Amino acid sequence: MNTLLLFGVAAYLVREATERFFRPSPLRLEVALLVAVVGLLGNFGSAVLLFSSSRESLSIRSAFVHLVADTLSSCALVLGVGMTRSLGWTWLDALVGLGVVVFVLREAFPLFWRTIHILMQGTPPRIQPEALKKRLEAIAGVENVHHLHLWSLNEREHYAEFHVVTTCATLQEVGVLRREIAAILWKEFGIHHSTIQFECQSCGGDLIVQE
């Protein structure tokens, strides 16, 4: 939703900038400058507070980009007021506004596609299925790993399901193996939850789901 709002902001800025290019209107410079400075300080402060968390969450990242866009818009207004007062360039405000649109779209599209990738249960980009399969098959008691599917609930929570052909002879040994696999998944691949089907012989195929 936040990413879609960014596209909405970009569309609104394009409309306003285009209208100012072709139908420039006089500015109340003192009022515009006051509003711009207050908006600049508020948005910049909020963006600074969200900066560290914006790398961990797509939702926070979208909110951060929104605040940066508002900050740039305020900067554009301050610049526009200054240039209009000194040089009479009423079109500069619209031009800088289009620059803000470029920034917003540059940030919004990657966020949008990352969100779609998660919703479609795509493989987490930082986890290589082949490397995970090879690592698990190196564990004592594991003969083969197949029907491997990796996906994410969000940017930080990753899940896995797969079949394991094992040489373990008892349920106790399978339990020990299960805990060892879970520890490796968490420590080496950042996978929080896994669903494992243990088999004495392969059910056929060597499928790795990659989306």
Alpha-carbon gap, residue 61 to 106, rounded angstroms:
13
Please work out, in degrees rounded to the nearest 5, the angle formed at the alpha carbon of residue 182 by the alpha carbons of 180 and 184: 70
pLDDT at 56 over 80: no
Residue 135 has a pLDDT of 95
Q: Tokens 């290019």 map to which residue?
A: 21
- pLDDT digits over 1-16, tens only? 666 776 787 787 788 7
List the domain boundaries for the chain.
2-119, 129-209
Alpha-carbon gap, residue 30 to 50, rounded angstroms:
30
DSSP letter for 125, please.
T
Annotate 178-204 with b (16+ C-beta within 10 A) or e (fewer).
Answer: beebbebbeeebebeebebebeeeeee
State percent of the chain over pLDDT 70.
78
Q: What is the pTM of this model?
A: 0.61
Q: What is the mean pLDDT of the chain?
A: 79
Q: Where are the alpha helices (DSSP H) in 52-144?
A: 58-87, 92-119, 129-137
Residue 84 has a pLDDT of 67
Q: Rounded to a whole number, what is the distance in angstroms from the first to the last CA of the chain?
A: 23
- pLDDT digits over 34-47, tens only? 767 777 777 777 77
Which class in CATH covers the domain with range 129-209? alpha beta
Helix, strand, coil share of the chain (percent; to 5) = 65, 15, 20
Decide: helix, strand or coil at residue 121. Answer: coil
Structure tokens at 144: 């083969």
Q: Count CB atoms within 10 A of the CB of residue 123.
A: 21
Alpha-carbon gap, residue 62 to 92, rounded angstroms:
27
